[in-house]
C-alpha cells in the first residue's frame, strides 16, 4: 500500500474503518483515485478481492464510470465527519450486473480536499431499486383492507381523486369513489374469481364530483376461501387518453428534423383515419408534406404559420386542402402553433375535417344554381335565335348559306359605302357654304366623320361598334339640316350611305356577338351539367361503351370548333365497342370538358391549314387510352409537375391568352371523374419547332391522355 497522503491521514481512516468493520455489511475504504485501502471480509467476497488490495480500483466495477464522478462531486459538498446515505449504483462484478445502495463518509485533508472515503454497501432487489421513484411516477398506488377501505396510497392517487394529501384518503371506503353504485361489489366478485386483474377500465368520482376514467391493475390476497385480506394495485388516469383517441378532431405534433424536414411525431386515431390510415403507428415518422394537396399551398400554409409565430399568436381557422393516403382530397380547418422555447422546431395543433359538411352545403348550392343556370341557358338560347333572325333580316346580302356572315363581303360592301360617303361630304360642305347654312350644323357631321376616318380599333367587334357610334352621331347631325335650304336629294343620298354603314356594322356586331355567344353556350351546358351532377358520378356505374360518349361530345362541339376554325381529326372507329365501368353522363362531361379545352386553347394558323385537335383511341390488353392533342396555348411546367391545373377553380397562368374565359373547374372535374373510375388523367405540354421550353409565348403541343380499365367480355 502506497497512499499519496501522510501516515497521519491514513491512520485516521484506518481507525474509522476498524470501528465498523465488524458490522454485517460490506465495508471498504478507497482513496480519491478509487484505489482500495481497506476492506472487510464481506466486501472482499462481494468484489472478489485478494490480500493485495493495491491492484484493485473501485472505478473498474462501475458499469458507467461517470456515476463515480457524480458521487465524488456530491461528497465534496458534505460536511466533514458526516455520512451521505442515499447513493445508488449499478456495478459490474465478474460479468454480473449488481444493484447496490451505499452510504459514504468523506475524509478531507488540511487543504479541504477529499483524500479518502469510507463506504457501507448493500445489495438491492429490483423493487428496492425503484422504490424511491414511487411518488414520482404518474400512477396511483393503493392498498385496500378486507373491508375495501383504503389502507395506504401514494400522493398521485390523492391527486387523481382531487384530495390534498394521502391522509385524506386513508380509512375511506372505496365505494365513495365509485361512479357507479354497484362497481365496488362487482370489483369484489371479480377479485374472488380472479385474484389478479389487469388494466380493468373503471369510472371513479373525484372529490369535486367530476368523473375520472382509469385503468386498474391489482392483486388480491385471501385469508381463506371466499374472503380477501388485502388488495394492492395501480391506477392509471386515462381520461385524457380517451379524449385524445376519441376526440372527433385530429390532433398532431410535428417536429423538424436536423435536415429541416417536417416529421409527424405524434397523432391521435382521428388524425390517422382522416389521412387514410387504419393505425396511428402507420402515420408516425412520415414527412408531413406528403399529406398536402400541392407544394404551393403547403408553402403558403407554412408562410402563414411563421407569420403567426413572429406575432406570438396561434394560427387559427386556417382553411386548406389536403390529400389522404389514397390521394383523395379533403377540406380541413387547422388550428396550430409552435411550442414556446423550441425555436420553431415543434408545432402542435388540431385539424377538423370539413369535407362532408362542405360537400353537403355545396350540393345544395349547386342544385339551386344548376336550376337557375338551366333557366338562364333557355333565355340565352332564345336571345341567340333572335339575334340570328336579325342577322338574316338585315344582312341578306352578306350571308353564306343563310346562316353565317361573310366577313370579307361585308367589309368590301362597307368600304364601298364609306368611299361614296367620302365623296358626298365635301359636296355637302360646299353647298352649305354657298347657301350660308350655319357652319356649326356642318361641324356636327364633320367631327364624327373625322373620328371614324382617322381611328380604327384593334378588334373587329370594337371597330364595328366604333363605326356605329359615329354614324349615329352623323345621322343625328344630318337631321338638323332638314329645315335649311340644303338640296333634299343631296341630304337624302348622304343619309342613305350613313344608314347602309349603320346596317352593315350592326349586322357585323350582331354576327360577332352571336359567335361569342355560340362559343359560351358549350361552357354554359357543361357548367349546368356539372352543377346538376349530384351523386351520379358513382351511382349507375355499369359497363358501357365509351365510343358513343366520345362521339356525342365531339358532335356537340362541332359548331364551337367551326366558329373557332378548328378541325377535329377523329382517329378511331365509331363502330367499336370498348366497355368500361362508368356513369355515361359523367364520362360524357369529362370528354366534353377536355375536348372543349383543346378547341378553345388552339391557335389559329396562317394560310389555309386550320389548327387541329387530334382525338385518338388506342385499345390495349387491359386498358383503353384516349388522347386529345392540340396546338396552341402552353401550360407551364411547374403547373403540370405540381398538379396545380387539377385544383378546383385554378386556371393556368397563360389560360386567359387572347381573352379566353373559363371557370377553372373543368380539369378538376374531369380528373375527379376519371380517378373515381379507377383510371388516370395525365397532361403534357411541350414546345414545337425546336422552341425553348421556357418561352411560353410560342405555340406548344398539349396532350391529354386518359387511361381507363377495360371490362373484359366473356
Residue 297 banded pLDDT, cuts 50, 70, 90: confident
- If asked whether residues 85 and 50 sit together in one domain, one would say yes
- If asked whether residues 704 and 582 sit together in one domain, one would say yes
pLDDT at 537 over 60: no
Mean pLDDT of 343-363: 77
Q: Give the best-scoring range by mean pLDDT among 1-10, 160-169, 350-359.
A: 160-169
Longest Cα separation, the chain = 152
In 3D, which of 589, 432, 466 has the Cα closest to residue 525?
589
**Is 506 part of a structural domain of the chain?**
yes
- If asked whether residues 689 and 572 sit together in one domain, one would say yes
CA 36/CA 58 separation, integer angstroms: 7
- If asked whether residues 342 and 424 sit together in one domain, one would say no
**Is 139 part of a structural domain of the chain?**
yes
CB atoms within 10 A of CB 389: 10
Residue 104 banded pLDDT, cuts 50, 70, 90: very high
In 3D, which of 509, 190, 159 has the Cα closest to residue 517?
509
What percent of the chain shows pLDDT beyond 90? 24
Sequential DSSP letters for 270-325: HHHHHTT-SSGGGTTTSBGGGGBS-HHHHHHHHHHHHHHHHTT--EEEEEEEEE-T
Instruction: Collect all residues with Cβ–Cβ distance below 8 Å to 496 and sequence separation of at least 6.
Output: none
**Is 218 part of a structural domain of the chain?**
yes
**Is 435 part of a structural domain of the chain?**
yes
As given in the structure block, the three cell numbers for residue 50 are 485478494
- Chain center to CA of 482: 74
Domain boundary among 242, 266, 282: 242
CA 422/CA 412 separation, integer angstroms: 15
CA 174/CA 516 separation, integer angstroms: 84
CA 62/CA 16 separation, integer angstroms: 25
- Chain center to CA of 705: 26
**Is 525 part of a structural domain of the chain?**
no
CA 323/CA 250 separation, integer angstroms: 14
Instruction: Collect all residues with Cβ–Cβ distance below 8 Å to 265 and sequence separation of at least 6.
Output: 253, 254, 255, 284, 285
96-108/84-93 β-pairing: antiparallel
Average pLDDT score over the chain? 84
pLDDT at 423 over 50: yes
From start to end of 24-167, where are the E strands?
26-31, 36-39, 84-93, 96-108, 114-123, 140-145, 150-153
As given in the structure block, the three cell numbers for residue 613 are 385537335
CA 518/CA 565 separation, integer angstroms: 13
Instruction: Collect all residues with Cβ–Cβ distance below 8 Å to 437 and sequence separation of at least 6.
Output: 431, 481, 484, 485, 486
DSSP state of 394: H
What's the pLDDT at 341?
Answer: 77
pLDDT at 556 over 80: yes
311-334 pLDDT, tens digit each: 989 999 898 888 888 878 888 889
**Is 522 part of a structural domain of the chain?**
no
Evaluate whether 520 touches 387 at the Cβ level (below 8 Å).
no
pLDDT at 655 over 70: no
- Cell 372507329: give the residue: 573
Distances (CA, A) of 613 to 324, 568, 571, 705: 35, 5, 11, 13
Sequential DSSP letters for 202-222: EEEE-TTS-EEEEEEEEEEEE
- If asked whether residues 315 and 403 sit together in one domain, one would say no
Element (H, E) at 518: helix 488-531
Evaluate whether 366 touches 532 at the Cβ level (below 8 Å).
yes
Sheet with 140-145, side-by-side order of all strands:
150-153, 140-145, 227-237, 211-224, 196-205
At residue 633, φ and ψ (nearest 5 deg) are -65, 135
- If asked whether residues 555 and 703 sit together in one domain, one would say yes
- If asked whether residues 156 and 124 sit together in one domain, one would say no
CA 366/CA 674 separation, integer angstroms: 21
**3 state DSSP class of 710:** coil
At residue 78, φ and ψ (nearest 5 deg) are -80, 140
- If asked whether residues 577 and 704 sit together in one domain, one would say yes
**Alpha helix (H) residue ranges in 50-94:** 65-75
CA 337/CA 334 separation, integer angstroms: 10
What's the pLDDT at 242?
Answer: 73
The β-bridge partners of 61 are none
Mean pLDDT of 513-525: 77
- Cell 349507375: give the residue: 540
**Is 323 part of a structural domain of the chain?**
yes
CB atoms within 10 A of CB 319: 11
pLDDT at 696 over 80: no
Instruction: Collect all residues with Cβ–Cβ distance below 8 Å to 563 and sequence separation of at least 6.
Output: 515, 518, 519
CA 650/CA 642 separation, integer angstroms: 12
146-194 pLDDT, tens digit each: 888 998 888 889 999 999 998 999 999 999 999 988 888 888 888 888 8
Q: Give the best-scoring range by mean pLDDT among 44-48, 228-232, 244-248, 461-465.
A: 44-48
- If asked whether residues 449 and 498 sit together in one domain, one would say yes
Instruction: Collect all residues with Cβ–Cβ distance below 8 Å to 620 and sequence separation of at least 6.
Output: 710
Over the Cα atoms of the chain, what is R_g?
A: 46
Domains identified in the chain, total number: 5
Evaluate whether 287 touches 262 at the Cβ level (below 8 Å).
yes
List the CATH number of the domain containing 258: 3.30.450.20
As given in the structure block, the three cell numbers for residue 478 are 344630318
Sign of CA pseudo-dihedral 653, 655, 660, 663:
negative
448-458 pLDDT, tens digit each: 998 888 887 77
DSSP state of 57: B
Angle at 73 between CA 69 and CA 76, to 5 degrees: 135
**3 state DSSP class of 170:** coil
Residue 545 banded pLDDT, cuts 50, 70, 90: very high
- If asked whether residues 537 and 503 sit together in one domain, one would say no
What's the pLDDT at 136?
Answer: 62
As given in the structure block, the three cell numbers for residue 3 are 497512499
Domain boundary among 209, 226, 242: 242
CB atoms within 10 A of CB 535: 10
Residue 2 banded pLDDT, cuts 50, 70, 90: very low
- If asked whether residues 21 and 121 sit together in one domain, one would say yes
List the CATH number of the domain containing 615: 3.30.565.10
At residue 666, φ and ψ (nearest 5 deg) are -55, -55
62-86 pLDDT, tens digit each: 988 888 888 898 899 888 888 888 7
pLDDT at 414 over 70: yes
pLDDT at 223 over 70: no
**Is 1 part of a structural domain of the chain?**
no
pLDDT at 1 over 50: no
- If asked whether residues 559 and 668 sit together in one domain, one would say yes
pLDDT at 584 over 70: yes
CA 23/CA 42 separation, integer angstroms: 9
- Lowest-confidence range among 431-435, 542-546, 598-602, 661-665? 661-665
As given in the structure block, the three cell numbers for residue 65 are 464510470
CA 257/CA 285 separation, integer angstroms: 10
- Determine the structural domain holding residue 547 and report its residue range: 533-709
CA 103/CA 120 separation, integer angstroms: 5
**3 state DSSP class of 437:** coil
Evaluate whether 385 touches 465 at the Cβ level (below 8 Å).
no
Amino acid at each position: 500500500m502506497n497512499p499519496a497522503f501522510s501516515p497521519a491521514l491514513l491512520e485516521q481512516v484506518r481507525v474509522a474503518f476498524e470501528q465498523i468493520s465488524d458490522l454485517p455489511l460490506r465495508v471498504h475504504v478507497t482513496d480519491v483515485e478509487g484505489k482500495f485501502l481497506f476492506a472487510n471480509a464481506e466486501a472482499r467476497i462481494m468484489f472478489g478481492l485478494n490480500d493485495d488490495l493495491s491492484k484493485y480500483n473501485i472505478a473498474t466495477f462501475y458499469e458507467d464510470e461517470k456515476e463515480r464522478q457524480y458521487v465524488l462531486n456530491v461528497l465534496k459538498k458534505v460536511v466533514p465527519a458526516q455520512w451521505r446515505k442515499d447513493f445508488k449504483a449499478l456495478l459490474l462484478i465478474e460479468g454480473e450486473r449488481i444493484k447496490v445502495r451505499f452510504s459514504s463518509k468523506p475524509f478531507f485533508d488540511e487543504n479541504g480536499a477529499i483524500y479518502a472515503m469510507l463506504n457501507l454497501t448493500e445489495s438491492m432487489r429490483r423493487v428496492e431499486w425503484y422504490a424511491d421513484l414511487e411518488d414520482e411516477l404518474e400512477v396511483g398506488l393503493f392498498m385496500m383492507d378486507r373491508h375495501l377501505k383504503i389502507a395506504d396510497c401514494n400522493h398521485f392517487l390523492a391527486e387523481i381523486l382531487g384530495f390534498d394529501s394521502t391522509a385524506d384518503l386513508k380509512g375511506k371506503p372505496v365505494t365513495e369513489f365509485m361512479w357507479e353504485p354497484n362497481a365496488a361489489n362487482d370489483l369484489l366478485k371479480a377479485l374472488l374469481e380472479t385474484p389478479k386483474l389487469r388494466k380493468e377500465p373503471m369510472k371513479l368520482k373525484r372529490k369535486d364530483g367530476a368523473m375520472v376514467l382509469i385503468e386498474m391493475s391489482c392483486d388480491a390476497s385471501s385469508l381463506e376461501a371466499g374472503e380477501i385480506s388485502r388488495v394492492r394495485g395501480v391506477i392509471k388516469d386515462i381520461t385524457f387518453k380517451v379524449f385524445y383517441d376519441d376526440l372527433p378532431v385530429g390532433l398532431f405534433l410535428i417536429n423538424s428534423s436536423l435536415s429541416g424536414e417536417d416529421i409527424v411525431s405524434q397523432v391521435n386515431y382521428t388524425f390517422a383515419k382522416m389521412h387514410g390510415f387504419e393505425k396511428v403507428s402507420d402515420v408516425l415518422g412520415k414527412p408531413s408534406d406528403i399529406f398536402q394537396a400541392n407544394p404551393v399551398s403547403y408553402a403558403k400554409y407554412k408562410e402563414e404559420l411563421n407569420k403567426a409565430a413572429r406575432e406570438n399568436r396561434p394560427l387559427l381557422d386556417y382553411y386548406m386542402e389536403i390529400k389522404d393516403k389514397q390521394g383523395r382530397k379533403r377540406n380541413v380547418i387547422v388550428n396550430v402553433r409552435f411550442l414556446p422555447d423550441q425555436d420553431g422546431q415543434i408545432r402542435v395543433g388540431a385539424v377538423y375535417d370539413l369535407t362532408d359538411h362542405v360537400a353537403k352545403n355545396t350540393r345544395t348550392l349547386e342544385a339551386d344554381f344548376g336550376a337557375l343556370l338551366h333557366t338562364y341557358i333557355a333565355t340565352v338560347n332564345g336571345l341567340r335565335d333572335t339575334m340570328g333572325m336579325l342577322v338574316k333580316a338585315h344582312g341578306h346580302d352578306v350571308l353564306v348559306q343563310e346562316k353565317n356572315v361573310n366577313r370579307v363581303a361585308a367589309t368590301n360592301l362597307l368600304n364601298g359605302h364609306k368611299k361614296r360617303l367620302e365623296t358626298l361630304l365635301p359636296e355637302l360642305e360646299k353647298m352649305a357654304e354657298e347657301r350660308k347654312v350655319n357652319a356649326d350644323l356642318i361641324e356636327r357631321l364633320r367631327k364624327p366623320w373625322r373620328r371614324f376616318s382617322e381611328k380604327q380599333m384593334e378588334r373587329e367587334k370594337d371597330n364595328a361598334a366604333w363605326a356605329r357610334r359615329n354614324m349615329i352621331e352623323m345621322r343625328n347631325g344630318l337631321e338638323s339640316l332638314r329645315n335649311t335650304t340644303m338640296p333634299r336629294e343631296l341630304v337624302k343620298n348622304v343619309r342613305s350611305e350613313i344608314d347602309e354603314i349603320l346596317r352593315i356594322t350592326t349586322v357585323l356586331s350582331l354576327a360577332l356577338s352571336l359567335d361569342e355567344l355560340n362559343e359560351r353556350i358549350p361552357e354554359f351546358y357543361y357548367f349546368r351539367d356539372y352543377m346538376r351532377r349530384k351523386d351520379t358520378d358513382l351511382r349507375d356505374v355499369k359497363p358501357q361503351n365509351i365510343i358513343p360518349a366520345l362521339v356525342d361530345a365531339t358532335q356537340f362541339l362541332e359548331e364551337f370548333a367551326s366558329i373557332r376554325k378548328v378541325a377535329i381529326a377523329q382517329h378511331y372507329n365509331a363502330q367499336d365497342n370498348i366497355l368500361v365501368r362508368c356513369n355515361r353522363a359523367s364520362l360524357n362531361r369529362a370528354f366534353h370538358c377536355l375536348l372543349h379545352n383543346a378547341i378553345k386553347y388552339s391557335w389559329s394558323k396562317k394560310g389555309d391549314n386550320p389548327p387541329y385537335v387530334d382525338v385518338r383511341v388506342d385499345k390495349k390488353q387491359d386498358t383503353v387510352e384516349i388522347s386529345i392533342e392540340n396546338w396552341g396555348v402552353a401550360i407551364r411546367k411547374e403547373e403540370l409537375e405540381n398538379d396545380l391545373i387539377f385544383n378546383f377553380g385554378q386556371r393556368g397562368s397563360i389560360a386567359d391568352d387572347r381573352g379566353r374565359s373559363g371557370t377553372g373547374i373543368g380539369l378538376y372535374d374531369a380528373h375527379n371523374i376519371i380517378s373515381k373510375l379507377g383510371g388516370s388523367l395525365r397532361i403534357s405540354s411541350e414546345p414545337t419547332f425546336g422552341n425553348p421550353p421556357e418561352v411560353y409565348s410560342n405555340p406548344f403541343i398539349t396532350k391529354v391522355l386518359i387511361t381507363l380499365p377495360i371490362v373484359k367480355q366473356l
